[in-house]
DNA sequence: GCACGCAAAATTGTAAACAGTTTAGTCGAC
DNA sequence: GTCGACTAAACTGTTTACAATTTTGCGTGC
């Protein structure tokens, strides 16, 4: 995708990318404050770029900025997560419907490879591998769907959900169930059936939402919880 | 909505809001560069908040930042505008479908008032008035739809389209045609018919797209056009 | 007359400095 | 021993200053 970035970008963009990575990684935990001076020192830059990056992340919904208190990594409230799942279901359904009308042999092969990789990962109970391939599967579909705006919003929202979705694939049964949805979607895509693909895609996303809900027993998801003490 | 802001916001947020207004207004024209020192002086602040605000606007897609060149107000490429219309059709259709299932009497009354206001504006050929009411109509529906995430994305994308959509309502016939779509949507909403509302909403958005297309003869919409010379 | 090149001005990117607020710790009173 | 107030440290918000790049204007050469 867009992993190539020699250096023609302003520093704040690179800092933002690095912070995003650290948040997704788990290097920075939800609820934690982004210490500007510490991060600046760690990344070898000044506070300016770090501040700009933090504000960018706020706009995306990954952090919350409080006046005179700083930027905190968000703990997405439950209702917001549910709304986001509904949004993603809509977008992913659209993407699949679009792709069903224009899919090429190469694209089908690519998706099939990812599907089979997930099948193997599920059998081997390799949650981390499955997680990575799962992301790639969805992102490839959205990239093939030929609507950059829909793709961009989907990626942004998905990144937000990753703040806690990682733990959803801890069991082999969960992975198998998820991949069954992928199979149905893939078949509809290759059959050139837009509405069928859309339905399967929406159903699959609802399944993800359900897995997400069952994965959280009662962690902090209150609206304003986990911000400051 | 959220017009109340005593002052608990960081300065950069207020600058961002002001810049957005100036862009929508037309005070800042597409292609123009955001001169940091000039804007800072004009707004009575320093360059820092202006810079942060510009980066935020880049994230939203209203400006493009080039290294060592500054922030330029975007001239949305044609293909991006079309993609955005498709996205908005999806979101607005979803919002209408949701609302059809949960609309209250108060909400219906509110929307009806806006519709009648537009009817009057169209009859009086008051394009500016129609434009304002039209925005309110769509935004109110999305606010009533009870999905904050979908609403937020819709607002963001719509703001981007406003960069040139303003000129689409220059004729009375156009306004009447647009408002006929509003009437159909409103009837479906009050009838509690989600799928019908969704179809009308999507059709209405496609109509807006068509009006937009016919409104542009051949202005600069090339992908990378209008950036620097 | 036109193009090329060089130099000065303007502007952005980044870093450092200052002011105000929040947070933590300590001392004292009850 | 615990609660409360006061003081100091830490941190953010903003401004100011400096370095690097770009743009513009002018002069020279062809």
Residue indicated by tokens 């979607």? A185
Å from the A20 CA to the D15 C1': 29
Query: Is B103 within a domain?
Result: yes
Q: From B36, B51, B73, give the residue that closes a domain.
A: B73
- Regarding whether B208 and B109 lie in a shared domain, the answer is yes
Q: Quick one: which H or E segment has residue B157?
A: helix B148-165
Contact B150 A56 (CB under 8 A): no
Mean pLDDT computed over every residue of chain A = 87
Task: Assign A26 a pLDDT band (cuts: 50, 70, 90).
Answer: confident
pLDDT digits (tens, 9 = 90+) for B40-55: 999 999 999 999 999 9
In the predicted model, what is the mean pLDDT of residues A85-89?
97
pLDDT at A5 over 60: no
Distance B45 CA to D22 C1' (A): 25
A166 with A208, same domain: the answer is yes
Is residue A228 in some structural domain?
Answer: no
Interface test with A, best of B87, B88, B99 (most A CBs within 10 A): B87
Residue with tokens 């529906």: B141
Please enumerate in sequence order all residues whose Cβ is within 8 A of that of A190, keeping only pairs 6 or more positions apart, or say none. Answer: A103, A108
* Residue B36 domain-assigned (yes or no): yes
With beta carbons under 8 A apart, name residues in chain B contacting A48: 48
Q: How far apart (Å, rounded) are the C-alpha atoms in residues B89 and B83? A: 10
Q: Indicate if B102 and B156 belong to the same structural domain.
A: yes
Residue A222 placed within a domain = no
Q: How confident is the model at residue B93 (pLDDT cuts 50, 70, 90)?
A: very high
Same domain for A170 and A61, yes or no, is: no
CB–CB contact B148 A55 (8 Å)? no
Does A155 share its domain with A119? yes
**Is the pLDDT assigned to residue A201 strictly greater than 80?**
yes
> What residues of B are in contact with residue A65 (Cβ under 8 Å)?
10
All residues of chain A having their beta carbon less than 8 Å from the beta carbon of residue B9 are: 67
Q: What spatial distance separates the first Cα and last Cα of chain B, rounded to whole Å? A: 40
Nucleotide nearest A68, from its CA to each C1': D12
pTM of the model: 0.88
Nearest to A162 by CA among A136, A141, A135, A194: A135
> A-B interface: how many C-beta pairs under 8 angstroms?
69
- Tell me, yes or no, whether A123 and A171 share the same domain: yes
Protein CA at A10 to nucleotide C1' at C2, angstroms: 38
Q: What count of other Cβ atoms lies within 10 Å of the Cβ of residue B50?
A: 27
> Is B44 inside any structural domain?
yes
Structural domain that includes position A174: 78-215
Decide if B149 and A60 are in contact by the 8 Å CB cutoff. no
Question: If you count them, how many residues does chain B have?
Answer: 229
Looking at A73, A101, A116, the residue that finishes a domain is A73
Residue B105, domain CATH? 1.20.120.530
Report CB contact under 8 Å: B149, A8.
Answer: no
A97-101, A157-161, A215-219, B97-101: the lowest-pLDDT one: A215-219
Q: What CA–CA distance (Å, rounded) separates A160 from A24?
A: 9
Number of domains comprising chain A: 2
Q: What is the pLDDT of residues B171-217, one digit of tens each?
A: 778 899 999 999 999 999 999 999 999 999 999 999 999 888 887 65
Q: Distance (Å) from CA A29 to C1' C16?
A: 30
* Pair B30, B107 in one domain: no
Name the closest residue on chain A to residue B71, using Cα atoms: A10
Strand ranges, E, within A40-170: 63-66, 70-73
User: Are both B129 and B194 inside the same structural domain?
Assistant: yes
In the structure, what pLDDT confidence band is assigned to residue B224 with cuts at 50, 70 and 90? very low
Most confident of A7-21, A70-84, A120-134, B83-97: B83-97
**Which nucleotides on strand D sit less than 7 A from a protein beta carbon?**
11-17, 21-23
CA distances from A207 to A89, B133, B169 (A): 10, 39, 43
Measured CA B68 to C1' D19 distance, in angstroms: 13
Give yes or no for a contact between B36 and B76, defined as CB atoms under 8 angstroms apart: no
- Tokens 């800072």: give the residue: B40
Residues B14-32 have a mean pLDDT of: 88
Is B134 part of any domain?
A: yes
CATH code of the domain containing A27: 1.10.10.10
Boundary (domain end) residue, out of B31, B52, B73: B73
Query: With contact defined as beta carbons under 8 Å apart, do A15 and A49 qualify?
Result: yes
What residues of chain A lie within 8 A of the CB of B56, using their CB? 55-56, 59
- Closest nt to A69 (CA→C1')? D12
- In angstroms, the CA A70 to CA B171 distance is 49
Q: Where are the beta strands (DSSP E) in chain A?
A: 33-34, 63-66, 70-73
Say if the Cβ atoms of B149 and A94 lie within 8 Å: no
Q: Do B135 and B188 sit in the same domain of this protein?
A: yes
Q: Is B84 found in the same domain as B158? A: yes
In a domain, A223, yes or no: no
Residue B116 forms part of a structural domain: yes
Q: How far is B137 from chain A (nearest CA, A)?
A: 21
| Alpha carbons A117 and B173: distance in angstroms, whole number | 56
A203 shares a domain with A106: yes
Nucleotide nearest A11, from its CA to each C1': C13
Kindly state whether residues A64 and A164 are assigned to the same domain.
Answer: no
């Amino acid at each position: 995708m867009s992993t190539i970035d020699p250096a023609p970008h302003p520093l704040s963009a690179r800092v933002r990318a690095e912070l995003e990575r650290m948040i997704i990684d788990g290097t920075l935990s939800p609820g934690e404050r982004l210490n500007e001076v510490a991060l600046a020192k760690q990344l070898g830059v000044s506070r300016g770029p770090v501040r700009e990056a933090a504000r960018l992340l706020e706009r995306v919904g990954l952090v919350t900025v409080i006046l005179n208190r700083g930027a905190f990594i968000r703990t997405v409230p439950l209702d917001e997560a549910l709304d986001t799942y509904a949004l993603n279901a809509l977008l992913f359904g659209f993407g699949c419907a679009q792709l069903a009308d224009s899919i090429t042999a190469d694209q089908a092969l690519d998706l099939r490879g990812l599907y089979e990789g997930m099948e193997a990962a599920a059998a081997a109970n390799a949650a981390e591998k499955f997680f990575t391939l799962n992301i790639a599967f969805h992102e490839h579909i959205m990239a093939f769907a030929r609507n950059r705006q829909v793709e961009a919003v989907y990626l942004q929202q998905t990144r937000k959900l990753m703040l806690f979705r990682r733990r959803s694939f801890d069991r082999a049964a969960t992975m198998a169930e998820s991949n069954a949805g992928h199979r149905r979607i893939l078949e509809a895509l290759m059959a050139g059936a837009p509405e069928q693909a859309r339905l399967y895609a929406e159903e699959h996303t609802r399944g993800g939402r359900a897995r997400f809900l069952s994965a959280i027993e009662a962690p902090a998801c209150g609206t304003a919880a986990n911000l400051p003490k």
